[in-house]
Amino acid sequence: MAEKFIDILMNVNNTEIRQALEAMFNIVGVGKDDTSETTKEIVGDITGDVTGDLTGDVTGDVTGDLTGDVTGDVTGNVTGNVNGNGTLGTLTLDTMTPVNAVAAAAKLTSSGAMQPAVHAVSVLTNDTTDIDDTKIVTIGTTVYRFMTTPAQAYDVLRGTSAANSIANLAAAINASGTGDGSDYFAGTLAHPTAYASASDATTLTVQVLIPGDEQNAAVTESDDAGWTWTGADFANGTVAGVTSAAATLTIGTRVYTVVDELSETNAVAIVDQILYGGDEATLLDNMLVAIDAGATEGTNYSTGTVVNADVESGVNTNTTQIVIALVKGVIGNAIAIECTWANTDWDDEVTNVLGTEVAGVDGTVGSKGQIAWDASYAYVCILANTIADANWEKTPISGTGVLTTDILGNVTGNVTGSASEVPGDVNFSAKLNAAQENITHSTDVTIVFDTEDFDNGSNFNVATGIFTAPDTGIYQLNVGVRLVNVDVDADYVLVVLVTPSKNITIGIIDPGSILSADTDAFMIFNGGATVALTAADECYVYIRSQAGASQVDVHASSGFSGHKIS
């Protein structure tokens, strides 16, 4: 193994990696090759075993300090004079197989329709005759009394007409008026469970704030014969509430509820609601943007819903949605997941935790420049690595050869063995296993190329579609995207290659300028760029279909590839 190490040290062309190797052994200074005197200092501790012959002549004097401990055995012959202080012994190269951290992931799969939670609704209707003085209207446990002169909280001003009185009642229910007696009396608070969502001269629509069947038994009553409700309670109202028990999705500490209509549409926003949208494909699209708190807040999911602190969305199709732990490592395997939707299950409904689609793995802790070896690979830690990082790069050790190296000034010797350059050739090619369908409109959607043709260096993540540069250099990146089901009514369709230094437009087009109808709608974008990347820089591809419908699909023939040039 030491022979392979010396081979790499003497032949590595990558300056950063070579310096990392030298830094590991604290080698300082350069030997002087002549027949008189060589001055050199070697500072640091060297431990380990070296097996092999160091054969050569020292034709002059080596003067300097060998500072540090060299313990063990050196097998070989050194001929010459060495003047200096130090102890010769064994050089040890530790062996291990470091691993990069992997984020846990799980997949939700739908096989059919589910039932979203539904808000209960009831309507109060008058016969155009104004309500009589002291008459009451009851919603749940709250009683509103109509008075010509309001005198206490929850007294509603009896107006000059039925239309005026019903408008005052709506204001009292929502506590949206003045509350000074000109509409209702001071101290009247907003109804705790219901909201006046609409009213006109003859009708008042009242919706339960929280979707579900919990308020179905709440009474809706009036003691004025000309003012009547749809039913005696919400269960017998215009729309009966449908339970949310079969409409919840748990991810980590968050519980999302799928609803037929966002509460804020007619009442007030309730966080972590996901709009059903009419079918499972739309629901999964809305789930994706809710998890990531995307651009359609208040439309596809409720206002106030924030980014999930435990996971991010991954590959999305018409029937599946992958979620990925934000923190890499086995910690992600403990994130709770549960789904109560009909015909929809996580890939593990037994343990109900992340890690069944992809198991989380802890990374090997390492310092920047650290080197490790096993029987097949040489490893370099390009940045400090924790259990949640992925900064180890590897290269195969292969072949044989004879090298003459310079260790102490004029000491020469033969070392057998060779290895490929660290970190080795960097190249990848990825594609889609299946079409990425129904891209959410008016949103930058990452194309997650989830299948690799090859990935030398393991720098491409099939769960996220992101390529991470292993080290600093010049890279060539290539993108080929075929789109189908393009909406002719979209303002534009854009495909972009994202790099830290700039965004590169692969293609942009106005569908309406070239397509006559959706049935003609397909297009192909090809392009690439040569870019300078720094170690750990991330690159990916996104599509944006502005306006129109969420119908465009990224065809499975699309691909993303790249390689390091220098």
Inform me whether the pLDDT recorded for 542 exceeds 80: yes
Beta bridge partners of 371: 380
Within 13 Å of residue 263, how many CA atoms lie on the same side as its CB?
Answer: 24
Are the beta carbons of 359 and 102 closer than 8 angstroms?
Answer: yes
pLDDT on residue 297:
93
pLDDT category of residue 276 using cuts at 50, 70 and 90: very high
Q: Is the pLDDT of residue 347 over 50?
A: yes
Average pLDDT, the chain: 80
- 289 in a structural domain: yes
Rounded Cα distance, 136 and 172, in Å = 13
| 431, 340: one domain | no
Q: What is the mean pLDDT of the segment spanning 135-154?
A: 97
- pLDDT band of residue 369 (cuts 50, 70, 90) is confident
- Specify if 351 maps to a domain: no
**Are 17 and 39 members of one domain?**
yes
Domain count, the chain: 4
- Residue numbers of the domain that contains 324: 107-116+244-346
Q: 508 falls in which pLDDT band (50, 70, 90)?
A: confident
Whether residue 254 is found in the same domain as residue 130: no
Higher pLDDT, 522 or 540: 540
At residue 411, the pLDDT reads 29
Give residue 139's region: left, alpha or beta (phi > 0; psi -120 to 50). beta
318 and 406 belong to one structural domain: no
28 and 165, same structural domain?
no
Concatenating the DSSP letter of every residue in 37-92 gives EEE-EEES-EEB-B-S----EEEEEEEEEEES-EES-B-S--EEEEEEE-----B-
Which pLDDT value is given to residue 94?
54
Residue found by looking up tokens 């979209």 in the block: 490
Q: Is residue 220 assigned to a domain?
A: yes
Residue at 11 is within a domain: yes
The letter for the amino acid at 144 is Y
Last residue of a domain, one of 318, 346, 374: 346
The better pLDDT of the pair 20, 199 is held by: 199
Confidence class for position 543, pLDDT limits 50, 70, 90:
very high
What does the longest C-alpha to C-alpha distance in the chain come to?
120
Render the burial of 112-145: b for 16+ CB within 10 Å, e for the rest: eebbbbbbbbbbbbbeeebbeeebbbebbebebb
Asked whether the predicted pLDDT for residue 30 surpasses 80, the reply is no
Which H or E run includes 170? Answer: helix 162-174
Q: Which of 437, 436, 440 is nearest to 549 (CA)?
A: 440
Looking at the structure, tell me whether residues 216 and 263 fall in a common domain: no
- Are 111 and 256 part of one and the same domain? yes
Supply the pLDDT for residue 474: 86
pLDDT of residue 398: 52
Please tell me which residue, 49 or 286, carries the higher pLDDT value.
286
Q: Considering the entire predicted model, what is its pTM?
A: 0.58
Whether the pLDDT of residue 165 is over 50: the answer is: yes
Alpha-carbon distance of 123 to 194, in angstroms, equals 12
The model's confidence at residue 419, banded by pLDDT at 50, 70 and 90, is very low
Tell me the pLDDT band of 448, cut-offs 50, 70 and 90: very high
Does 392 have pLDDT greater than 50? yes
For residues 87 and 460, which has the higher predicted lDDT (pLDDT)? 460
| Alpha-carbon span 484 to 522, nearest angstrom | 4
Output the pLDDT for position 374. Answer: 85
Mean pLDDT of 124-134: 96
Where is pLDDT greater, at 332 or 347? 332
59, pLDDT greater than 60 = no
Q: Partners of 447 in the beta sheet?
A: none
Instruction: With a cut of 80, say whether residue 60 has pLDDT above it.
Output: no
Greater model confidence, 381 or 162: 162
* Domain finish residue from 286, 319, 346: 346
What integer pLDDT is reported at residue 511 of this predicted model?
82
How far is C-alpha 483 from the chain's CA centre? Answer: 23
Instruction: Give, in degrees to the nearest 5, the angle at Cα 441 between 439 and 443.
Output: 95
Least confident of 52-56, 443-447, 493-497, 503-507: 52-56
Indicate whether 304 and 408 sit together in one domain: no
Considering the domain architecture, whether residues 62 and 90 belong to the same structural domain is answered as yes
Examine the pLDDT at 24 and tell me if it is beyond 50. yes
Average pLDDT over residues 529-546: 91
Q: How far is CA 108 from CA 261, 288, 343, in A?
A: 22, 11, 11
Overall average pLDDT of the 351-370 stretch: 89
pLDDT for 485:
87
Could you tell me if 291 and 189 lie in one domain? no
84 in a domain, yes or no?
A: yes
- Which of 209, 236, 263 terminates a domain? The answer is 236
- Residue 333 — pLDDT band, cuts 50, 70, 90? very high
Residue 93 tokens, joined = 């190269």
Q: Lowest-pLDDT range, 47-51, 226-230, 299-303, 473-477?
A: 47-51
pLDDT score of 344 more than 90: yes
To which H or E segment does residue 19 belong?
A: helix 15-24
Among 70-74, 226-230, 445-449, the least confident range: 70-74
- Give the pLDDT band of residue 220 (cuts 50, 70, 90): very high
pLDDT at 23: 55
| Structure tokens that stand for 66 in this block | 């060998």
Average pLDDT over residues 190-198: 95
- On whether residue 354 sits in a domain, the answer given is no
When pLDDT is averaged across residues 381-386 and rounded to a whole number, the result is 91
First vs last Cα of the chain: how many Å apart? 28
Rounded-to-5 percentages of helix, strand, coil across the chain = 10, 40, 50
379 part of a folded domain: yes
Angle at CA 316, nearest 5°, toward 311 and 317?
155
Same domain, yes or no: 374 and 433: no
Q: Of residues 414 and 473, which shows the higher confidence score?
A: 473
| 101-106 mean pLDDT | 91
Same domain, 91 and 50: yes
Identify the band that residue 541 occupies on the pLDDT scale cut at 50, 70 and 90. Answer: very high
273 is a domain residue:
yes
Mean pLDDT of 393-410: 47
- pLDDT reported for residue 184: 98
- Kindly state the tokens that stand for 438: 């129904």
pLDDT at 519: 60
- Supply the CATH number for residue 468's domain: 2.60.120.40
